[in-house]
Amino acid sequence: MTRRNPVLTEPQYFILAALMDGPLHGYGIIKAAERATDGRLRIAVGTLYGALERMERAGLVAAGDEEIVDGRARRYYRLTEDGTEALGREALRMQQAAAVVIGLPGDAGVAPA
């Protein structure tokens, strides 16, 4: 895929999904991803911030407000319009891939022309 429409890694997908309902700080993103996967995906702190940095450079997320909690800065991230589109494309791609395996109609999730 092109740089404009990259395939997301699993952690990236769930990081973006965690931000669908609004801005979250790093720990909130980690916990939301764990909940969404019933604990199967545990994103390490280094993985999270590396992914957030790359996705911020790609325009998929944006850093927003910061607050100080217990003497430490807490930065909140939000999903951008490009991030929302990338998440939707990836969800559709996964749905179509799953349809091959579980026997759904080949055009599952594809809007009529």
Q: Could you give phi then psi for residue 58, rounded to 5 degrees?
A: -80, -5
| pLDDT of 68 higher than 70 | yes
pLDDT tens digits along 76-113 = 999 999 999 999 999 999 999 888 888 866 555 555 54
Q: What's residue 46's pLDDT?
A: 92
Residue with token string 């319009």: 81
Contact 61, 8 (CB under 8 A): no
Higher pLDDT, 66 or 85: 85
Residue with more model confidence, 71 or 61: 61
Q: Tally Cβ neighbours within 10 Å of residue 6.
A: 16
pLDDT of residue 65: 82
- What's the pLDDT at 61? 97
How many angstroms separate the most distant Cα atoms in the chain? 55
**DSSP for 32-86, written as a single string:** HHHHHTTTS----HHHHHHHHHHHHHTTSEEEEEEEEETTEEEEEEEE-HHHHHH
Q: How far apart are CA 6 and CA 45, in angstroms?
A: 23
Cβ-based neighbours of 93, under 8 Å, separated by 6 or more? 7
Look at 2 and 26; give whichever has higher pLDDT. 26
pLDDT score at 22: 95
Q: What is the pLDDT of residues 7-63, one digit of tens each?
A: 899 999 999 999 999 999 999 999 999 999 999 999 999 999 999 999 999 999 999
